């Protein structure tokens, strides 16, 4: 079975909007694992607009499944990961001003840089993954960086699937096949949701893990809101 790692950035966003500790990020992480998820993902950014760097430390003893920290490997991020030593670090080439991750690594242009960073993490016993698109040359480049896994950037698939274009899965299948042949583990994430996840899973061989945050949290709000509204109405009778 493909493992589900839940990205809890949106929980932190909601908490930060009021300045208190509601919702409690650590309790949410504990509950998500008790509900059956096999991992917790966070993506701290330099401006700490959702996950704070302190959250990364506070979550370490709470995450009893797989702990995945995503981010752009600036020095502050590298130091954080090396100190915490999560199960996995996922390298994402996002600039400080981006709203959300919107591109994968150019593993040819940045190959030597990635080799250096990945070597440092692997020497510390941390599994590495790099965020990447489906270009087969870039998959080949990824294998040369020394990374353990790739994470397929799935926004284009999700967008096309919503339009009814199921052929959009083909480049992802081809990328996964090549990655497996090259000895790379396969993760995936970005805009995967309840509507497209089964189809994606069925067409991606050797899919080890998906990391899902925005859609899962949004779906949780909608699918749970009727129950909560009725609980309030009951108490107001």
Q: How confident is the model at residue 162 (pLDDT cuts 50, 70, 90)?
A: very high
Whether cis (ω within 30° of 0) applies to the bond prior to 192 is no
Q: How confident is the model at residue 100 (pLDDT cuts 50, 70, 90)?
A: low
| Residues forming the active site | 43, 70, 190
- Across the range 134-151, mean pLDDT stands at 97
Residue 98: what pLDDT?
Answer: 52
Q: Domain of 33?
A: 3-235
Phi, psi of 192 (to 5 degrees): -70, 140
Residue 64: what pLDDT?
Answer: 98
What six digits make up the tokens of 61? 């003893």
**Parallel/antiparallel/unpaired status of strands 127-132 and 149-153:** parallel
Residue 232: what pLDDT?
Answer: 85
Residue 236 has pLDDT above 90, yes or no: no
User: 124-134: per-residue pLDDT in tens?
Assistant: 999 999 999 99
Rounded to a whole number of angstroms, the CA Rg of the chain reads 18
CATH number, domain with residue 47: 3.20.20.70
Q: How confident is the model at residue 237 (pLDDT cuts 50, 70, 90)?
A: confident
Q: How far apart are CA 72 and CA 59, in angstroms?
A: 19
Q: How confident is the model at residue 27 (pLDDT cuts 50, 70, 90)?
A: very high
Residue 97: what pLDDT?
Answer: 56
Residue 29 has pLDDT above 60, yes or no: yes
**Count of structural domains within the chain:** 1
Average pLDDT taken over every residue of the chain: 94
- Would you list the DSSP string of 46-100? TT-SSS-HHHHHHHTTT--SEEEEEE---HHHHHHHHHH--SEEEE----TT-SS
**Is this prediction's pTM over 0.85?**
yes
């Amino acid at each position: 079975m493909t493992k589900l790692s839940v990205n809890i950035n949106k929980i932190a966003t909601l908490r930060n909007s009021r300045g208190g500790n509601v919702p409690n990020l650590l309790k949410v992480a504990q509950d998500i694992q008790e509900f059956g998820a096999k991992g917790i993902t966070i993506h701290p950014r330099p401006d700490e607009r959702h996950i704070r760097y302190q959250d990364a430390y506070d979550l370490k003893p709470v995450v009893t499944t797989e702990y995945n920290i995503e981010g752009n490997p600036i020095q502050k991020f590298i130091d954080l990961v090396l100190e915490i030593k999560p199960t996995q670090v996922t390298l994402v080439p996002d600039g400080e001003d981006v709203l959300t991750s919107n591109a994968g690594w150019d593993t040819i242009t940045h190959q030597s840089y990635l080799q250096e960073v990945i070597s440092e993490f692997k020497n510390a016993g941390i599994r590495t993954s790099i965020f990447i698109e489906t270009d087969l040359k870039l998959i080949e480049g990824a294998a040369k960086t020394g990374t353990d896994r790739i994470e397929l950037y799935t926004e284009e698939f999700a967008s096309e699937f919503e339009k009814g274009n199921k052929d959009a899965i083909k480049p992802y299948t081809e990328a996964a096949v090549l990655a497996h042949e090259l000895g790379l583990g396969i993760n995936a994430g970005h805009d995967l949701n309840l509507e497209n996840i089964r189809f994606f899973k069925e067409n991606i061989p050797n899919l080890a893990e998906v990391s899902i945050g925005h859609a899962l949290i949004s779906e949780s709000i909608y699918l749970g809101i009727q129950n909560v509204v009725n609980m309030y109405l009951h108490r107001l009778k």
